[in-house]
Amino acid sequence: CSAGANKPVLTLFTKKPCPLCDEAKEVLEPYKRRFILQEVDITLPENSAWFDKYKYDIPVFHLNGKFLMKHRVNIQKFEDQLRKLELQSD
């Protein structure tokens, strides 16, 4: 199975500390083999555009570059989108 090559990328916009982000990562733990988690620290200077956009909304999730959800993980929505992407890549 060559699924590893085209696994969806889940981008987590975060900052330290972020208890909600930690909570979100725990909720996503059972799915972690199905996606690549990329964390973006919005407090870093190179991420200032994301900081301006999301400073009051983290955690924010993008799936393959598209906005997916914010504040809390919506497992239903996440699973639906993940399944769609997995079907497309087959």
pLDDT given at position 90: 75
Read off the pLDDT of residues 35-52 as tens digits, 9 standing for 90 and up.
Answer: 999 999 999 999 999 999
When the candidates are 3.40.30.10, 3.40.190.10, 3.40.140.80, 2.30.30.30, the CATH number that belongs to 9-88 is 3.40.30.10
pLDDT at 5 (0 to 100) = 63
pLDDT of residue 52: 97
**Average pLDDT in the 59-68 region?**
98
Residues with Cβ < 8 Å from 70, sequence gap 6 or more? 54, 57, 58, 59, 60, 61
- Locate the domains of the chain by residue range: 9-88
Average pLDDT, the chain: 93
Confidence at residue 28, expressed as pLDDT on a 0 to 100 scale: 97
Averaged over 15-43, what is the pLDDT?
97
